[in-house]
Amino acid sequence: MPITFEKGTGTFHLYNDHISYVIRLAAGSYPLHVYWGRRVHAVSEDVLARLTPYTDATFSLHETPLDRLPQECPVFGGADLREGMLHIRHADGTSALDLRYAGHRISQGKPKLEGLPCARGEGAQTLTITLCDAPSGITVELAYTLYEDIDIIARSMRIVNSGMQSVQIDRALSACVDFEQADFSLLTLSGAWARERAPYMRPLVPGDQGTSTARGASSVQTSPFMALLAPNADETHGDVYGFALCYSGSFTANVHVDQQFMARAQIGIQPFNFCWTLEAGASFQTPEAYLVYAPDGLGGMSRQFHALVHRHITSSRYANTARPLLVNNWEATYFQFDEEKLLSLARCAKDVGIDLFVLDDGWFGHRDDDHSSLGDWFDDLHKLPGGLTRLSEQIHALGMKFGLWVEPEMISPDSDLYRAHPDWCIHVPGRERLESRHQLVLDLSRSDVRDYIVEVITAALRRGHVDYVKWDMNRNISMWGSAALPPERQQELGHRYILGLYDVMGRIVSAFPDVLFESCAGGGGRFDLGLMCFMPQAWCSDDTDAWMRCRIQSGTSLVFPPSTMGAHVSAVPNHQTGRITPLFTRAAVAMGGTYGYELDLTKLPQEELDEIRALNRRVKAMQPLLLYGTFYRLRSPFTGSDAAWMSVSQDRSEAVVTYVLSLAEPNVQPKLLRLEGLDPDRRYRDEDSGGVYGGDELMFRGIPLKKPWGDFVAQQFHLTAEA
């Protein structure tokens, strides 16, 4: 898995067993993008000579505009007239920039990024190309990490001000790929609360297209990801290029098709409402982006992203192990609970085989609804006379783990914290403080605010001897302003907030290495790779309706594996849609993520409790396969009336297949469902029905589905290879 440099031609070649990425220095100065795709031995064609009438010897910015060439680091203010990765304003207000090659280094592994989460670098090599703008002293370091075990290249950019005067950074993206043609379809993920991450695809056209957010979080409205699909590419076939950003704040993922029908794909921090003052001698690090090339369609792209998450992103002790089955009291009680109600729910949960009891919102301050107390992370002794300590002791005495909900980034105007520190929230002096859900956002760019959060949350977790944390965030930022930043730095607030969030999370998570942390943001409003570096799972959506979850979890799986998706069985009629679905269907869909319950078990009839007990035994027996197996989408809930997916063990000896039908129709013949990823030369037994099938038969012909009876019914097959 080498990264090589051929000095004579100025060519860098990054390759493993499956992919190649080739860069060439034009005239020894400008890194051009030459090739990214299937592994090749070499690329002999000279991009410069083919796309321009000039050679290295005759190349000149006066004669050959970079505007017509595919580049690795296009910048604004020079010979490229398109939007590039970097826009800098100098002290005199101008934006001229001419970055030229100054050197490179190839190193083993992968360096950490200052202040930012990133993938680890086991079994990797990193190429760092240094570019310099001589007049200003601006230096740019382009980092490319190539992995041996996955077909992913990690990219980022570091900007260093080696000059004598400060400059303003108006745009600093993480990755750019210039494709020499635009015959692609663009896929992005969009949605809203309770219907997150639905895939939308459209052909590229001249101009700009893509997705972005300026909400201060990666958001429910979109996702820091995009993919380009070659003609005729689909779930299982064709070339797909995927881009994902390891960042939790405002971002852009954009493709510009120019007058030559070249497609420039870029991803990084949202330039809107962003400006960063870079003092002399200082540096700025962009977040890390991950680039996937897959020749086997969207499914192949997803499996590369899943491998990245499992092997190089998540690092908790729970990252690759079984997760406890939990019950959360939120939809069972909302804010209306006392200690005895919680204990009765916990006792019932223990009886049916649940491992973890999670206390959700309402345990602190005087919080009987969502109007107060955020920031006052002290036990409500009216609801919990013995506080978290006594409740936790009683939960643990049952043989269960104890979990807790917190929302550390927020503050209620009706709180002791706000009355003591009204300037700690994000606000603009002299203007109305805009509330959402009766709360404001704490200014995490401030060290005193961060220290307070770490102190009080750490104390609560220790007081409660907590085994699990649900870290929520229920509103985005408005009225951007910080009392701690000078006027010229106010547009740094968005990025400084995210850096502050990572600092707080890093300190708290590292203090509790044995605690399972789950992120949440009004449902799936901050489901991104940045937070996955701290927390191995995230609440996928507040919508727990089984059919809607088929869609939400399918869209999410384009980038994220099932082990990251918080998924629960909830009550019917469902609290978000009013839909009634069978218990087995709700459970089968929740098995597509980290399994739990979000309902009042004490109100269920005995026959349902018995069914839940059996389901829990099933989940525990299959959980390693469900969470960490190789994942395949078989039927899309976005294009038809059914959905299907499966997970296959690494040695292809075991698989779990799930099928869900939305609306039943009369007089319809039973269907066959084609499977993927099995060994065609082995025979598999369905552990439930006893049926035996060849792996080739299951993949090329299909497994027979039962004739459906009723709406929103599910079928599941647990396949094991015969010896």
Catalytic, 67? Answer: no
The H-assigned helical ranges of 368-492 are 387-397, 416-420, 447-463
Catalytic, 542? Answer: yes
* HEC assignment per residue over 308-342: HHHHHHCCCCCCCCCCCCEEECHHHHCCCCCHHHH
> Which of 98, 361, 467, 472 is flagged as catalytic?
472
Both tokens assigned to 707 = 């004739």
Q: pLDDT tier at 1 (50, 70, 90 boundaries)?
A: low
Helix (H) or strand (E) holding 51: helix 47-51
Q: pLDDT tier at 378 (50, 70, 90 boundaries)?
A: very high
Percent of the chain with pLDDT over 70: 100
Q: pLDDT tier at 208 (50, 70, 90 boundaries)?
A: very high
- Specify the DSSP class assigned to residue 365: T
Both tokens assigned to 319 = 């990252």
Using one digit for the tens of pLDDT, what is the confidence trace for 286-311? 999 999 999 999 999 999 999 999 99
Instruction: Return the pLDDT at 48.
Output: 80
Q: What is the mean pLDDT of residues 531-551?
A: 97
State the Cα–Cα distance between residues 563 and 628, nearest whole angstrom: 7
* HEC assignment per residue over 687-702: CCCCCEEEHHHHHHCC
**For the CA atoms of the chain, what is the radius of gyration?**
27
Q: What is the mean pLDDT of residues 549-574?
A: 98
- Specify the DSSP class assigned to residue 368: S
Pairing of strands 642-648, 713-721: unpaired
Res 53 pLDDT > 90: no
Largest separation between any pair of C-alpha atoms in the chain: 84
State the Cα–Cα distance between residues 7 and 9, nearest whole angstrom: 6
What is the per-residue DSSP string for 182-199?
Answer: ---EEEEEEEETTEEEEE
Instruction: Return the pLDDT at 532.
Output: 98
Res 254 pLDDT > 70: yes
- Specify the DSSP class assigned to residue 232: T
When the pLDDT of each residue in the chain is averaged and rounded to a whole number, the result is: 96
Res 461 pLDDT > 90: yes
Res 46 pLDDT > 80: no
Using one digit for the tens of pLDDT, what is the confidence trace for 92-110? 999 999 999 999 999 999 9
Both tokens assigned to 621 = 């027996």
Instruction: Return the pLDDT at 52.
Output: 82
Query: Fold for domain 79-307?
Result: Beta-galactosidase; Chain A, domain 5 (2.70.98)
Using one digit for the tens of pLDDT, what is the confidence trace for 463-497? 999 999 999 999 999 999 999 999 999 999 999 99
Res 45 pLDDT > 80: no
pTM of model > 0.95: yes
Alpha carbon 57 to chain centroid, angstroms: 45
Res 511 pLDDT > 90: yes
Q: Which residues contact 137 (CB under 8 A, 6 or more apart)?
A: 161, 162, 163, 164
Res 685 pLDDT > 90: yes
Question: 153: closest CA among 242, 41, 218?
Answer: 242
Res 450 pLDDT > 90: yes
Instruction: Return the pLDDT at 57.
Output: 84
Distances (CA, A) of 648 to 296, 644, 684, 720: 17, 14, 12, 10
Q: Partners of 208 in the beta sheet?
A: 256
8 Å CB contact between 135 and 123: no
Query: Fold for domain 326-539?
Result: TIM Barrel (3.20.20)
State the Cα–Cα distance between residues 456 and 378, nearest whole angstrom: 8
Q: Which residues contact 582 (CB under 8 A, 6 or more apart)?
A: 710, 712, 713, 714
Q: What is the mean pLDDT of residues 668-694?
A: 95
Res 459 pLDDT > 90: yes
The residue length of the chain stands at 723
Percent of the chain with pLDDT over 90: 93
State the Cα–Cα distance between residues 303 and 294, nearest whole angstrom: 9
Using one digit for the tens of pLDDT, what is the confidence trace for 151-199? 999 999 999 999 999 999 999 999 999 999 999 999 999 999 999 999 9
Instruction: Return the pLDDT at 105.
Output: 98
> Which of 178, 542, 545, 642 is flagged as catalytic?
542
**Domain range list for the chain:** 79-307, 326-539, 635-721
Instruction: Output b/e per residue, 456-469; b: 16+ Cβ within 10 A.
Output: bbeebbebbebbbb
8 Å CB contact between 547 and 579: yes
Instruction: Return the pLDDT at 63.
Output: 73
Do 79-307 and 635-721 show the same overall fold? no
Distances (CA, A) of 239 to 15, 231, 506: 17, 8, 37
- Residue 437 main-chain phi, psi, to 5 deg: 55, 30
Query: Fold for domain 635-721?
Result: Immunoglobulin-like (2.60.40)
State the Cα–Cα distance between residues 347 and 212, nearest whole angstrom: 46
8 Å CB contact between 443 and 425: yes
Q: What is the mean pLDDT of residues 383-387?
A: 97
Q: Partners of 563 in the beta sheet?
A: none
State the Cα–Cα distance between residues 89 and 581, nearest whole angstrom: 58
State the Cα–Cα distance between residues 181 and 352, nearest whole angstrom: 58
8 Å CB contact between 326 and 358: yes
State the Cα–Cα distance between residues 218 and 183, nearest whole angstrom: 28
Q: Which residues contact 324 (CB under 8 A, 6 or more apart)?
A: 355, 356, 401, 467, 468, 516
- Give the Cβ contact number of residue 271 at 10 Å: 19
Instruction: Return the pLDDT at 130.
Output: 98
